[in-house]
């Protein structure tokens, strides 16, 4: 894959992640548990990721960096994003399950809406993994394992969580995940995007990713 294409795709993925983190995860958490608790969890996610990042040295933006080092950084980025989205997807399966129990039509609407916004989320996982490994199978499997968290969440909710469901805890975790994914976007995806191409390409593709995610969410709300 050409460096220009990698740069555009990584910037695009960063735009998706940033938009999801602010407009969906953090926004919902603030609405449901309040500004203080949601933002505390959000910044805790950033701080923990900063500590982890400091403990695992890596470099971006230098011509002397080997392709192997860049690939290792992108693989790590793909895995962390997959874990973050899996945590986000897990309660979605839980919500869809109980929404369907309440009203089958509501469950169908939730299913379509979640499916639509999972498409760009899958892209954000596939891109760094495929760019690093050039393996469609590995990129697909990582995205698949992240996406399978939703049906697992539904089963888990049915078997174990329903009696102990705590909305405060759920929204705290979502805000924490938003902080983690924001840090990944600015520390991993955008530097890699700039390193592989021109800065204006990275910024333009970032905003395109944001706009796409906005359109997907807008469409899902109108269904």
Domain locations along the chain: 3-222
What is the reported pLDDT for 88? Answer: 65
Looking at residue 30, its pLDDT comes to 95
Query: How much is the pLDDT for 63?
Result: 44
Q: Cα separations (Å) of 137 from 77, 126, 147, 176?
A: 17, 10, 15, 30
Q: How far apart are CA 149 and CA 86, in angstroms?
A: 5
Please tell me the predicted confidence (pLDDT) of residue 1: 55
State residue 198 phi and psi, 5-degree precision: -85, 150
Q: Please tell me what DSSP assigns to residue 223.
A: -
**Assigned token pair, 56:** 């695992």
pTM attached to this predicted model:
0.66
Residue 172 and residue 34: Cα distance in Å, rounded?
10
Residue 198 CB contacts under 8 Å (≥ 6 apart), including other chains? 7
- Mapped onto helix, strand or coil, the DSSP state of residue 61 is coil
User: Are residues 188 and 84 in contact, defined by beta-carbon separation less than 8 angstroms?
Assistant: no
| List of residues 6+ apart from 121 with CB closer than 8 A | 16, 20, 85, 89, 146
Residue 17 confidence (pLDDT): 81
pLDDT of residue 10: 77
At residue 135, φ and ψ (nearest 5 deg) are -115, 110
pLDDT in tens, the chain (223 residues): 566 777 787 788 788 888 888 988 899 889 999 999 999 999 998 998 888 777 755 544 444 445 556 666 667 777 777 777 777 677 667 666 765 665 666 566 557 656 655 666 677 678 777 777 778 888 888 888 877 877 887 787 677 766 766 778 778 877 887 888 788 788 877 887 787 777 788 889 999 989 988 888 787 677 6
The helix/strand count (H/E) of the chain reads as 10, 0
């Amino acid at each position: 894959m050409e460096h220009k294409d990698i740069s555009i795709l990584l910037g695009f993925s960063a735009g998706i992640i940033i938009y999801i983190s602010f407009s969906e995860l953090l926004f919902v958490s603030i609405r449901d548990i309040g500004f203080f608790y949601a933002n505390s969890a959000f910044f805790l996610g950033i701080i923990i990721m900063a500590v982890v990042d400091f403990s695992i040295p890596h470099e971006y933006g230098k011509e002397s960096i080997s392709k192997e080092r860049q690939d290792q950084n992108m693989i790590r980025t793909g895995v962390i994003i997959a874990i973050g989205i899996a945590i986000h997807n897990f309660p979605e399966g839980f919500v869809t399950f109980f929404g369907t129990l309440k009203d089958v039509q509501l469950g169908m609407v939730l299913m379509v809406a979640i499916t639509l916004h999972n498409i760009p989320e899958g892209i954000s996982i596939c891109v760094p993994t495929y760019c690093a490994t050039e393996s469609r199978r590995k990129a697909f499997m990582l995205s698949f394992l992240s996406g399978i968290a939703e049906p697992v969440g539904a089963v888990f909710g049915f078997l174990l969580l329903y009696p102990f469901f705590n909305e405060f805890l759920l929204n705290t975790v979502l805000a924490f995940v938003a902080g983690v994914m924001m840090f990944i976007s600015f520390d991993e995806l955008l530097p890699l995007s700039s390193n592989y191409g021109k800065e204006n390409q990275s910024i333009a593709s970032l905003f395109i990713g944001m706009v796409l995610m906005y359109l997907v969410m807008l469409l899902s709300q109108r269904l």
